[in-house]
Amino acid sequence: MNANYRIPGGWSLFWLIGALILAMSALILALNPDTTEAVRSVIRATARSSFALFLLAFVASSLATLVPNDLTRGLMRERRYIGLSFAFSHFVHLLAIIAYGVLNPQFWPGRSALTNAPGTLGYVFIALLALTSFRFASRHMTAAAWKRLHTAGIWVIAAIFGYSFFKRIPSMSVLYAIPFSILCAAVAVRLVGKWAQANKRRQARTRSLDRSSSFPNQLEPVS
Ligand code: HEM
Higher pLDDT, 92 or 209: 92
Atom of ligand 1 at shortest distance to CA of 172? 16
Find out whether the beta carbon of 123 lies less than 6 Å from any atom of ligand 1.
Answer: yes
Side chain identity at residue 40, one-letter code: R
How do residues 37-48 score in pLDDT, each as one tens digit?
999 999 999 999
Work out the number of other CB atoms within 10 angstroms of the CB of residue 157.
23
pLDDT at 211: 78
Find out whether the beta carbon of 44 lies less than 6 Å from any atom of ligand 1.
Answer: yes
Q: What angle do CA 8, 123, 43 make, to 5 degrees?
A: 70
Does residue 145 register a pLDDT over 60?
A: yes
Does residue 2 register a pLDDT over 50?
A: no
- Name the residue ranges covered by the structural domains of the chain: 3-212
Higher pLDDT, 222 or 206: 206
pLDDT band at 222 (very low <50, low <70, confident <90, very high): very low
Find out whether the beta carbon of 39 lies less than 6 Å from any atom of ligand 1.
Answer: no
Please tell me the distance from the alpha carbon of residue 40 to that of residue 10, in angstroms, as a whole number.
31
* Cα(47) to centroid(ligand 1), Å: 6
* Cα(44) to centroid(ligand 1), Å: 7
Averaged pLDDT score across all residues of the chain? 93
pLDDT band at 212 (very low <50, low <70, confident <90, very high): confident
Atom of ligand 1 at shortest distance to CA of 116? 1
Find out whether the beta carbon of 165 lies less than 6 Å from any atom of ligand 1.
Answer: yes
How do residues 46-60 score in pLDDT, each as one tens digit?
999 999 999 999 999
Please tell me the distance from the alpha carbon of residue 155 to that of residue 189, in angstroms, as a whole number.
14
Please tell me the distance from the alpha carbon of residue 139 to that of residue 131, in angstroms, as a whole number.
11
Domain 3-212 belongs to what architecture? Up-down Bundle (1.20)
Q: Average pLDDT for residues 97-104, to the nearest whole number?
A: 98
Please tell me the distance from the alpha carbon of residue 147 to that of residue 152, in angstroms, as a whole number.
8
pLDDT at 3: 46
Instruction: Give me the DSSP letters along 161-211.
Output: HHHHHHHHHHHT-GGGHHHHHHHHHHHHHHHHHHHHHHHHHHHHHHHHHHH
pLDDT at 216: 56
Which residue's alpha carbon is nearest to atom 41 within ligand 1?
44
